[in-house]
Amino acid sequence: MPPAVVMGDGLPPLFLELLGPDVEVVPWTTEPSSADARRIVALITYGHPRVDGPLLDRFPNLKVVTNHGVGVDHIDVAACAARRIPVGNTPGCLDASTADMTFALLLAVARNVVVGDHFARGPEFTHYDPAMWIGSEVSGSTLGIVGLGRIGRQVAQRARGFDMRILYHNRHRDTAAERELGVVWCSLDELLAQGDFVSLHCPLTPQTTGLIGQPQLRRMKPSAFLINMARGPVVQTEALLVALRERWIAGAGLDVTDPEPLPRNHPLLGLDNLVIAPHLGSASNRTRRRMIEMSIENLWAGLTTGQLSWSVQP
């Protein structure tokens, strides 16, 4: 029996190893030859390539789209459903690592970890001065979580260890989380006005695209910090640039940007009150292995039964 042919680019060695010899991986292309297109039975979306109706129509024998990650804003799930092609993702396994990264960025920007590191390595650090790089207290501060889903709940659990007051905003109240975690629901405007730290964990949808712009940043405290662990387009890039330059807010920590990556000459990259990471939310060893395992399990389920272990509904 010949190996199943799947299209995927940039797959790390571990992914290829766990796929095994029964899968042939071919490079990702939006314009395959007709002969190559007929061979493709699955798409592996690794690194957010765009999957839409015109792309799907190029592959007459496509049986499954398996996404390495939770967010599927790069996949037209409705178009897949219309063609009876199941879409799988990897929920749950990356919640803890993404919450860890949230606090890594939060602490780094609040306590000047990155600029302090650069200073400590530079020629100007010749003696200790207690007045240098005084940051903002995290313990006992107010954290506002926008999007109290699986990851948001994990962030709230960590915030409790810092004795933080925790506000959250969802479209619907989560009374179970309020009982279990002591979080308090409020409107987005109230959360922005009260939060010492505002952490974004909402999915990217038409409603959340551009959710944080100039009016929202103006509503935040001048001493507050914005953390974006959601998707880049949730925050309006130019508005954030102005807010950081003019110190409407104290700083920001970004794991995602719009566009991603930013152009190498983008002015955001020159700001000292911004800590930026290259989309590392789920980038821990155990989490990434589990994401690969779940992606492969979805792949084989799609090719055999069509019933995925972790599926996305339109």
Q: At what angle do helices 285-304 and 95-110 cross, to 10 degrees?
A: 150
pLDDT of residue 30: 85
In angstroms, how far apart are the furthest CA atoms of the chain?
A: 70
Domain boundaries, the chain: 4-93+286-304, 95-276
Rg over alpha carbons for the chain, rounded to the nearest Å, is 22
Q: Taking the model in full, what pTM does it have? A: 0.92
Contacts of 201 (CB under 8 A, 6+ apart): 102, 145, 146, 147, 148, 149, 151, 152, 155, 229, 230
Do the domains 95-276 and 4-93+286-304 match in fold? yes
Contacts of 275 (CB under 8 A, 6+ apart): 105, 108, 109, 113, 114, 251, 252, 253, 254
* CATH entry 3.40.50.720 includes domain 4-93+286-304: yes
* Catalytic residue positions, numbered: 231, 260, 279
* pLDDT per residue rounded down to tens, the chain (314 residues): 578 999 998 999 999 999 999 999 999 988 889 998 999 999 999 988 999 999 999 999 999 999 999 999 999 999 999 999 999 999 999 999 999 999 999 999 999 999 999 999 999 999 999 999 999 999 999 999 999 999 999 999 999 999 999 999 999 999 999 999 999 999 999 999 999 999 999 999 999 999 999 999 999 999 999 999 999 999 999 999 999 999 999 999 999 999 999 999 999 999 999 999 999 999 999 999 999 999 999 999 999 999 999 999 98
pLDDT of residue 144: 98
Q: At what angle do helices 113-121 and 95-110 cross, to 10 degrees?
A: 60
Query: Measured between alpha carbons, how far is 66 from 85 in angstroms, rounded to an integer?
Result: 10
pLDDT of residue 19: 95
pLDDT of residue 158: 98
Instruction: Provide CATH code, domain 95-276.
Output: 3.40.50.720
Cβ pair 83, 43 in contact under 8 A: no
CB-facing half-sphere around the CA of 74: CA atoms within 13 A:
20
pLDDT of residue 3: 82
